[in-house]
């Protein structure tokens, strides 16, 4: 089963509004990462938050991590049409596993 | 410094043929990961390799699929006797010497395999 589960699966908002996506996971992690994927393209790394961090900012992005609830959120402020994409959380596992485990993704649509 | 290079970008194969997907990691990266993405789904881990070694192949189907990362040249994901269910986007990622603990992975643009 998937380690990461994003919520919602799809989100449609007006340009200028804020978009919030959530991710839950099951096992202990070393870090959690958010990636963006434009339709038919590769993945672009957005932000990495370590397990001992609670919040991180990068430009219009804000990521929070709650290890007690095993959840993370990605906030995109002042959304733009160019933010339309799928967003995935990926967990970097602690034990032995040099791999990222991805969720199903949230498809974000920004309406002009 | 070029990013992760995958080729071909698109590959069409008939059922029963072989598919070879190539991945050149970023310069200085010694870890390579292969993922598969079915339409409208997330990425599923397939295999993790270092030079000349398969470290973790827990996501690889037991039959028809193999991967290698030779001392010289790109990493190769090989699918023998392809079936329609193999149609997907295959992504390669690489990371520096310390692997993925505490660092990001860099992804290629993917190879879109279509089996007809």
DSSP per position, B32-48: EEEEEE-TTS-EEEEEE
Q: Which of A31-35, A75-79, A86-90, A100-104 reaches the highest mean pLDDT?
A: A75-79
Question: For position A3, what pLDDT does the model report?
Answer: 61
- Any idea of the CA torsion for A92, A98, A104, A105, to the nearest 10 degrees? 60
The answer to whether B55 contacts chain A (CB < 8 Å) is: yes
Name the minimum distance, in Å, from the CA of A15 to any CA of chain B.
Answer: 24
Which residues of A touch chain B, with CB atoms under 8 Å apart? Answer: 2, 4, 30-31, 33, 35, 40-45, 48, 50, 88, 90, 92, 97-105
Mutate: best of A43, A58, A85, A90, partner B, most B CBs <10 A: A43
- CA A40 vs. chain centroid, Å, equals 18
The answer to whether B29 contacts chain A (CB < 8 Å) is: no
- CA-nearest of B66, B113, B114, B69 to B95 is B69
Top pLDDT among A29 and A2 is at A29
Question: For position A40, what pLDDT does the model report?
Answer: 75
Q: Is the dihedral of CA B94, B95, B99, B100 positive or negative?
A: negative
* 3-state SS assignment for residue B58: coil
Of A6-20, B66-80, B99-113, the one with minimum mean pLDDT is B99-113
Q: Does the structure show a pLDDT above 70 at B98?
A: no
- Calculate the average pLDDT of chain A: 89
């Amino acid at each position: 089963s998937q380690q990461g589960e994003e919520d919602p699966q799809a989100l449609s908002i007006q340009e200028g509004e804020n978009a919030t996506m959530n991710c839950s996971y099951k096992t202990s992690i070393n870090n959690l990462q958010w990636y963006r994927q434009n339709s038919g393209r590769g993945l672009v790394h957005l932000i990495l938050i370590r397990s001992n961090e609670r919040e991180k900012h990068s430009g219009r992005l804000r990521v929070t991590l709650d290890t007690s609830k095993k959840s993370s959120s990605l906030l995109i402020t002042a959304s733009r049409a160019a933010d339309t994409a799928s967003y995935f959380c990926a967990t970097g596992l602690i034990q032995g596993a040099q791999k990222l485990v991805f969720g199903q993704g949230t498809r974000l649509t920004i309406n002009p | 410094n070029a990013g992760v290079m995958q080729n071909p970008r698109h590959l069409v194969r008939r059922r029963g043929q072989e598919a070879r997907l190539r991945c050149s990691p970023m310069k200085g990266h010694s870890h390579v990961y292969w993922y598969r993405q079915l339409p409208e789904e997330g990425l599923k881990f397939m295999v993790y390799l270092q030079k000349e070694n398969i470290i973790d192949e827990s996501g690889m189907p037991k039959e028809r699929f193999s991967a290698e990362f030779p001392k010289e040249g790109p990493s190769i994901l090989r699918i023998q006797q392809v079936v329609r269910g193999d149609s997907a986007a295959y992504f390669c990622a690489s990371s520096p010497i310390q692997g993925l603990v505490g660092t990001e992975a860099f992804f290629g643009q993917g190879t879109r395999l279509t089996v007809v």
